[in-house]
Amino acid sequence: MCDVFVAAGDSSPIAVEWTMSELMKNPEKMEKVQREVRHFFDKRGEVNELKYLKSVVKETFRLHPPAALSLPREGPETVVVNGYQIPSRTRVIVNYWAIGRDPSHWTQPNQFIPERFLDTCIDYRGFDFQLLPFGSGRRVCPGMNYGTAVVYSLLANLLYRFNWELPNQIKPQDLDMSENFGGAISRKKNLYLIPIPYHAP
């Protein structure tokens, strides 16, 4: 049980904070996702229909996987992967952060472009190896469904109920996106935003 609490940590809030950061940095994407969220909730749509919001979340997981590295794995047999021989019992740690920014899989890998997910079925559930924020295989994150439900419901509420502004006349392009180094990759500096309540017309 203790392992579950440690692993659950604050991954979902970290993902929400990165998503809001990327949206503040890209006001046109913020406008687009808020238009979608408000349209669906005002018309009492299904959360499943929030296609752009889902792409925004995938793109955030690609650029900012809250857990950058896999848990260590050890193979029982010697294997060759991409020409590299990995002897049996070697401990292997996979860098999910680097995979998400690998230019051989992603065009403009360091740019926040949620649209790249609109016309593909690439997902983060562990079957598409270029996007592994929850890992893959036997040790895939067991909290994935709960974690993503928290991320979606927090974001949908924040985006529906408020418009957001940066304090102290900070310009979107100047928003600091430095990362903390550690088990969970959070923002180095907290994100401070001014909420402005939205009232449905």
Instruction: Please tell me whether residue 141 binds ligand HEM under the rule CB under 6 A.
Output: yes
C-alpha–C-alpha distance, residues 135 and 69, integer Å: 9
Residues flagged as binding site for heme: 141
Among 63, 151, 156, 159, binds ligand HEM (CB under 6 A): 151
> Which CB sits closer to ligand HEM, 126 or 163?
126
* Shortest reach from residue 4's CB to ligand HEM, in Å: 5
DSSP 91-130: EE--BHHHHHT-TTT-SSTTS--GGGGTT----SSSSSTT
Instruction: Please tell me whether residue 146 binds ligand HEM under the rule CB under 6 A.
Output: yes
Instruction: Please tell me whether residue 7 binds ligand HEM under the rule CB under 6 A.
Output: yes
Q: Which stretch binds ligand HEM (CB under 6 A): 34-42, 48-56, 112-120, 133-141?
A: 133-141
The footprint of ligand HEM on residues 43-72 (CB under 6 A) is 66-67, 70-71
> Which CB sits closer to ligand HEM, 38 or 73?
73
The answer to whether residues 122 and 97 touch, using CB atoms and an 8 Å cutoff, is: no
- Lay out the site mask for ligand HEM across 73-112 (x = CB under 6 A, - = otherwise): ----------------------------------------
Among 134, 156, 186, 187, binds ligand HEM (CB under 6 A): 134
Distances (CA, A) of 8 to 149, 176, 190: 13, 26, 20
Q: Give the interface size with ligand HEM as a residue count (CB under 6 A).
A: 23
C-alpha–C-alpha distance, residues 35 and 56, integer Å: 13
Among 147, 164, 185, 187, binds ligand HEM (CB under 6 A): 147
Query: 66 exposed, middle or buried (CB, 10 Å; 0-12, 13-18, 19+)?
Result: buried
* Shortest reach from residue 37's CB to ligand HEM, in Å: 19
Q: Give per-residue burial for 118-153: e unless 16+ CB within 10 Å, then b.
A: eeeeeebebeeeebbbbbbeeeebebeeebbebbbe
C-alpha–C-alpha distance, residues 88 and 153, integer Å: 43
Binding footprint of ligand HEM on the chain (CB under 6 A): 3-4, 7-8, 11-12, 15, 66-67, 70-71, 133-136, 139-143, 146-147, 151
